Amino acid sequence: MPHGFDSYRVFISAPGDLESDRSAAYEAVSRANESVAMPAKILLVSIGLRDNGQIESCRSAVSDNVRWSTFFVQIFEDDWGPRDLFRKLFLLAMECCEDPSMPMRNLVICLKEAARETNPEILAFRKELEEQQGARLFRYRRPEELREQLEGVCGEWAQSLIALGRPALGAS
């Protein structure tokens, strides 16, 4: 049934024990839809994995969903997840963002604070994320902070789509 909205996918990726953080990201997209996007007949559609096992069992489908997305949100704290597969997903999103023929427009890294962390491997992982070119990095302590930051980002995304005045590549 036609609904009259142009929809844009927002892939939300979060490995490990960051379920409340992932939920906060979904809530941020919903709030931006309500306040900015939907009045302009735009819909940001949140997609992502329900659990870490899907990244191993459905790799092809997960990668395709990243390729079809307009925006990508990566939430991390201390590692790349099982078998570093979230790293591969993140790098795929970076490639898509750099390719003008793909619908990916923007990538955001949300890095949960770990002030007491001393493990050299985790510190190196965090440093690698902080040095990424082509991605916005936000730090946060609690899921509520993440939600607030992402709500602003999603609102910016919606405003940029409104300013275009036409469906973007990959929009439905």
Reported as a single tens digit per residue, the pLDDT across 11-55 is 999 887 899 999 999 999 999 999 999 999 999 999 998 766 666
* Domain hosting residue 98, numbered range: 6-164
pLDDT digits (tens, 9 = 90+) for 87-139: 899 999 999 999 999 999 999 999 999 888 888 988 998 898 899 888 999 99
CATH number at residue 121: 3.40.50.10140
- Residue 118 token pair: 């001393």
Number of domains within the chain: 1
Instruction: Report pTM.
Output: 0.90
CA distance 125 to 8: 30
**What does the pLDDT read at residue 169?**
45
Residue 114 lies in a domain: yes
What is the mean pLDDT of the segment spanning 68-96?
Answer: 90
